[in-house]
Chain A
């Protein structure tokens, strides 16, 4: 691994099926390496990314979360990416209150053709979280407040 301090951040990436997941595939086709720290969860639309998925990922050991969406105006489902942006902005406010740096949670836009941008965004995200260091583990009781089978009340407006 590349950095001397030995810290390898664990990052969850939520990629929408139509643009950013395809952009990741495009980056793959270009066969240019990028840091391996992002584990990908494919969703059909960035509008499906519940802020509680992100909180849950942080509780379960992720040091950062990146949500990649279609560019504004290009959403396969018309406006799911706008919903994602609304939720993201509110989530950042909440993370700030929890003392979690906003750089740990990034929303960006990658189109199906933007293999190079995808590569760059992943480099930037991993570098940013590496600089921040590990996310201090949240107290154990917090993790019990989010159950995978519980109703997911959204922290965000629609």
Chain B
């Protein structure tokens, strides 16, 4: 076997400490007696050219480059190998600059260390095999789960880029949480108005044809891998055709059955067939099966008979279906919810009247909400005093250890909106910490501070506070023993992942952090990627965030999808992966338990493990774990590593 050692002087960086002459001399005793070629700056344009020319003329079978760190230029030299017509994986680099020349004082000692390392590399490179990057056709289309700000932004942007998108939403409507709010911090913009253009484009815009919106739907199964997923989606029956319904509401008017409306925090009634709330998009009602009198055996057709669009719009026989879609990537945008403040003792949520959490109060503020936007107590009067309690169940080891980062901002928005409607109302903010970051949040904060009817009180622990009923029947807040009356109490609980994150996590194998949010591949470098390749994260499902950040996160996830999967483009798979030698696999499945990427599946018929090269990241943990030695870690085989050990020790 002909082996070439290319020794880079790196100017004086290496040459000052390591004698190339000694390397030439030592190489005579190396296996296969490699030739040694001394070059200056192989990474330079001139150096690369001379390296390539030498590869072409000498035609070595294997190549060792003794130079800088492979983390600097392994990719560069692999490209030279390819340019010279060689397989790039027949190269082994030896780091004689960062790990020898720069850190060894005595040139003799440095030369000795370098020679050992090069001998190890020669021993190893003899066993290296040409590896080919596998090519794979991919589907450029995407599945977006959740039609809140992040999911809508992602779906629409992908559609604008020409991609087909399946947008799956659990609720009957789009717009997520903010579409239920009246005004938003920091600029008091009307939420439905702000979202309207986005929602309009999504439903009826130029690109809407590429977006398949499935409301009242959920993901039930995903198979395959990056570029080639098959998703099964359960479509629950709405009993109303989105295609034909004109949203007139005649059906709701005719419906005899009522229940409390969960989308209005159960503070108002709805019919069995009704809209989630006024102005909802898609503009169509949905039927609550358990509430409909038909579920109690009555043969009611009032809604169907009332529909002015014909007998086909409402289909009372509609049943659940499961559809299958092929996609290349998945964007999780399942959003957030609020920590149940009933878990926090002393807050009175659910047990005392006129105690609301922030979502319930947002609905009270909304003109489409249960009080049509009037701020009132349960007995219908305007509150003379309001207590707003921040940090409920957050920054608290007994509940959620983190600060949600958005609550103070909406709390001061509440302050502004209450003051605007009820200027004489006394508002007391009870806060543990105050978080008003960024260039915009301070405005509402300053307004609250300057409001003479507003008082900010800091508490230490939530247990220092207690909401209770006074003897006169009014609510009161006790803070460190001091009593203040409060006709209305608004709680700002921790922002937590939306319900269903746990089952999605199990379904897709994406990890969650200790707070239950989807874990980013890297919190700073790859915050839009989940731990599973091809599954991206956007919005409050990855941590508490405001609408601005959720929209940005939606765009970031789109960036990954567009960059990674392009129509007609074939993705290349790095060949440094693990591969099971099926003749040696005993079927113990130890490899499956250690693989952090779920890249290994078990073939129960053959009783063999199999590595999916697309999902394998090449860490080699399974190679080491396999008790039968049946897994080959390409480019880092047992034999190659053993040869290197032997070489450096000789």
Write the residues of chain A forming the contact surface with B, with a CB cutoff of 8 angstroms.
Answer: 1, 10, 12, 17, 21-22, 24-25, 27-29, 31-34, 36, 39-45, 47-50, 53, 56-57, 60-62, 76-80, 83, 87, 119, 148-154, 158
The residues of A that contact B621 with a CB separation of less than 8 Å are: 45, 47-48, 77, 80, 83
- B507 at the binding interface (Cβ < 8 Å): no
Say yes or no: is B639 at the interface (Cβ < 8 Å to chain A): yes
Please state if B648 and A158 are interface contacts (CB–CB under 8 Å): no
B620 adjacent to A48 (CB under 8 Å): yes
Q: In the assembly, what is the distance between CA of A48 and CA of B636, in Å? A: 9
Cβ-defined partner of A148 (8 Å) among B116, B618, B638: B638
B55 CB-CB contact with A under 8 Å:
no
From B113, B116, B624, B636, give the contact of A83 (CB < 8 A): B624
SS class of chain A's interface: helix, strand, loop or mixed?
loop
Contacts of B120 in A (CB 8 A): 39, 41
Q: Is the CB of B71 within 8 A of A36?
A: no
Given contacts A22-B71, A28-B103, A80-B619, contact A48 B633 (CB under 8 A): yes
CA distance A22 to B117 in the complex (A): 17
Please determine whether A152 and B629 come into contact, CB atoms closer than 8 angstroms: yes
Which of B109, B623, B646 interacts with A36 by CB under 8 Å?
B109
Q: Which residue of A lies closest to B511 (CB)?
A: A78
Minimum CB distance partner of A150 in chain B: B629
Q: Measured between alpha carbons, how far is A36 from B109 in the docked complex, in Å?
A: 7
Is A44 in contact with B636, judged by CB distance below 8 angstroms?
yes
Q: How many chain-B residues does the 8 Å CB contact rule pick out?
A: 54
Chain A hits for B645, CB < 8 A? 12, 41, 53, 56-57, 60, 62
Chain B, residues 67-111, CB within 8 Å of chain A (1/0): the string is 001110000000000000000000000010111101111100110
Among all A-B residue pairs, the 5 with the closest Cβ atoms:
A151-B629, A28-B98, A48-B620, A148-B642, A47-B621
The CA-CA distance from A50 to B642 in the complex, in Å, is 10
Tell which of A12, A78, A79, A152 touches B649, judged by Cβ atoms closer than 8 Å: A12
Q: Give the contacts of B580-633 with A (CB-CB under 8 A).
A: 584, 590, 593-594, 596-597, 617-621, 623-630, 633
> Chain B residues with Cβ under 8 A from A1's Cβ?
106, 109
State whether B648 touches A78 (Cβ < 8 A): no
CB atoms of A87 and B624 under 8 A apart: yes
Asked whether, in the complex, the Cβ of A29 is within 8 Å of the Cβ of B98, the reply is yes
- Kindly state the separation between the CA atoms of A21 and B621 in the bound complex, as whole angstroms: 17
Q: Roughly how many angstroms separate A34 CA and B576 CA in the complex, as a whole number?
A: 32
Query: B624 touching A48 by the CB < 8 A rule?
Result: yes
Beta-carbon contacts under 8 Å, B185-232 to A: none
* Contacts known (A41-B120, A43-B641, A53-B642); A32 close to B624, Cβ less than 8 A: no
In the assembled complex, 16 residue pairs joining A and B whose CB atoms fall closer than 8 Å, in A order, are A12-B648, A29-B98, A39-B116, A40-B117, A44-B636, A47-B621, A47-B624, A50-B624, A50-B638, A60-B649, A61-B649, A76-B619, A80-B619, A80-B620, A149-B639, A152-B638
B160 within 8 A of A: no
Whole-angstrom distance between the Cβ of A3 and the nearest chain B Cβ:
13
Q: Taking CB as reference atom, which chain B residue is nearest A76?
A: B619
In the complex formed, the residue of A with least CB distance to B531 is A78
**Distance between Cα atoms of A47 and B624 in the complex (Å):** 7
Contacts of A41 in B (CB 8 A): 120, 641, 644-645, 648
Given the known inter-chain contacts A1-B109, A44-B618, A153-B628, please indicate yes or no for A158 contacting B649, CB distance below 8 A: no
CA distance A97 to B289 in the complex (A): 69
Provide the bound-state CA to CA distance between A53 and B624, in Å: 10
Closest to A41 in B: B644
Establish whether residues B626 and A154, one from each chain, have CB atoms under 8 Å apart when the complex forms. Answer: yes
Q: Is the CB of B619 within 8 A of A29?
A: no
Specify which chain A residues have a CB less than 8 angstroms from the CB of B250 in the assembled complex. Answer: none
User: Is there an interface contact between A33 and B103, defined as CB atoms closer than 8 Å?
Assistant: yes
Q: Do the beta carbons of A21 and B112 come within 8 Å of each other? A: no
Q: Which of B590, B617, B625, B645 has the most CB of A within 10 A?
A: B645
Q: How far is the CB of A61 from chain B (nearest CB, A)?
A: 5
Task: Please state if A152 and B624 are interface contacts (CB–CB under 8 Å).
Answer: yes
**In the bound complex, CA of A47 to CA of B621 (Å):** 5
CA distance A17 to B103 in the complex (A): 19
Q: Tell me whether B540 is interfacial, beta carbon within 8 Å.
A: no
**B643 an interface residue at 8 Å Cβ cutoff?**
yes
B69 to chain A, nearest CB (A): 5
Q: Are B648 and A24 in contact (CB under 8 A)?
A: no
A36 with B113: in contact, given A44-B620, A44-B636, A77-B596 (CB under 8 Å)? yes
Known: A28-B99, A40-B99, A48-B636. 18 other contacts (CB 8 A): A1-B109, A17-B71, A21-B69, A21-B71, A22-B71, A27-B98, A28-B69, A33-B104, A39-B648, A39-B649, A47-B594, A47-B624, A60-B645, A62-B645, A76-B619, A78-B597, A151-B630, A154-B626
* Nearest A-chain residue to B635, judged by Cβ: A44
> A48–B625 Cα gap in the complex (Å)?
9
